[in-house]
Amino acid sequence: MITAKTKIAGIEFDSYIFNASGIKDGTLEELEEIGKSESSAIMLKSCTIEPRKGNEKPREINLPFGYFQSEGLPNLGYRKYLEFIPKLKQYKKPIIASVVGFSLEEYRVLVKTFQESEVDLIEVNLSCPNIVEEGLPIVYNFEKIKELLDKISNLGEKPIGLKLPAYLCYVLQEKMADLIKQYNVPFIASINSVGNALIIDPGKETTLIKPQKGFGGLSGGYIKPIALGNVRRFYELLKDKVSIMGVGGIKTGQDAFEFLLAGADAVQVGTTFEREGVNCFQRINKELEEILEKKGYSSISDIRGRLKYL
Ligand code: DHB
């Protein structure tokens, strides 16, 4: 039996599958559940400087093909997550902080603080779709991202990575990849929920969620092909220089295998974790291992990125 171990930015992960930020990872109890499960890492909820209650409810809904939400970043504030880290170390797996700043300075403080903590990696979330920014969101403003990377890419030894949105054209993917290559950014997570989506209840003639007149971020099966497209592009552009965490619609071992073919070094599971709970990590991992074994591959690196063309 093969084991689908992997590495992200040089750090070993016992399997290819772990939790995506934002799902059942906001409290110590939830994080301990992830710690005890077969998730190969503990990804923390994206945190901000101050605690936040998040948007008005109803703010999320599970639908047949995925998840739709405008949570508005409810979290306990970064100080609480710092307090949790020593307690989470007992689970002996990589701990990943996820941070969101409302200014470049806030991002700097958050990254610096987690650099000085016992987390293993830091995900810099640039792509929360439910926070209304003035002007162009940072993730489409490459000058601003450059300014940010000047401030955060050399604050410590721990690998930092960018959580990216769905870039829907090649020029944006290429620009982002060029910036990543210029700085010390050893991993990316691609993609975040696809923002500015709208779902309507035709019977009631209303929106499905309350915040932002019904607009929100879409995750799960709806976005899997978009996520695969982004992962593949970034794999082509960054190859072995940058590790890729694939995110978006991973429900089965076969989905994970498709992300592996596209070039992901690991996958994060959100919507399926929301529905199925912590057992999903073991199930998906087992299904992936069975596929690898059946196809005669002995490790993740045998097949990573080896998508064939027609
Ligand atoms: C939220 C949604 C996201 O997709 C994200 O990356 C961070 C936060 C939210 O609305 O809480």
Distance, CA 100 to ligand 1 centroid (Å)?
Answer: 9
CA 166 → CA 47, 124, 194, 223, distances in Å? 21, 16, 6, 9
Residue 38 to residue 53: CA distance in whole angstroms: 29
Distance, CA 58 to ligand 1 centroid (Å)?
Answer: 15
| Residue whose pair of structure tokens reads 């592996």 in the numeric block | 260
Q: Thinking of the domain 6-54+73-194+220-302, which architecture would CATH place it in?
A: Alpha-Beta Barrel (3.20)
Q: Residue type at 251?
A: K
Residue 157 to residue 58: CA distance in whole angstroms: 41
| Residue whose pair of structure tokens reads 């965490």 in the numeric block | 245
Active site residues: 128
- Tokens standing for residue 66: 């995925």
Provide the whole-model pTM.
Answer: 0.98
Per-residue pLDDT of the chain (310 residues; tens, 9 = 90+): 677 899 999 999 999 999 999 999 999 999 999 999 999 999 999 999 999 999 999 999 999 999 999 999 999 999 999 999 999 999 999 999 999 999 999 999 999 999 999 999 999 999 998 988 788 999 999 999 999 999 999 999 999 999 999 999 999 999 999 999 999 999 999 999 999 999 999 999 999 999 999 999 999 999 999 999 999 999 999 988 999 999 999 999 999 999 999 999 999 999 999 999 999 999 999 999 999 999 999 999 999 999 999 9
CB distance 22 to ligand 1 below 6 Å: yes
CB distance 217 to ligand 1 below 6 Å: yes
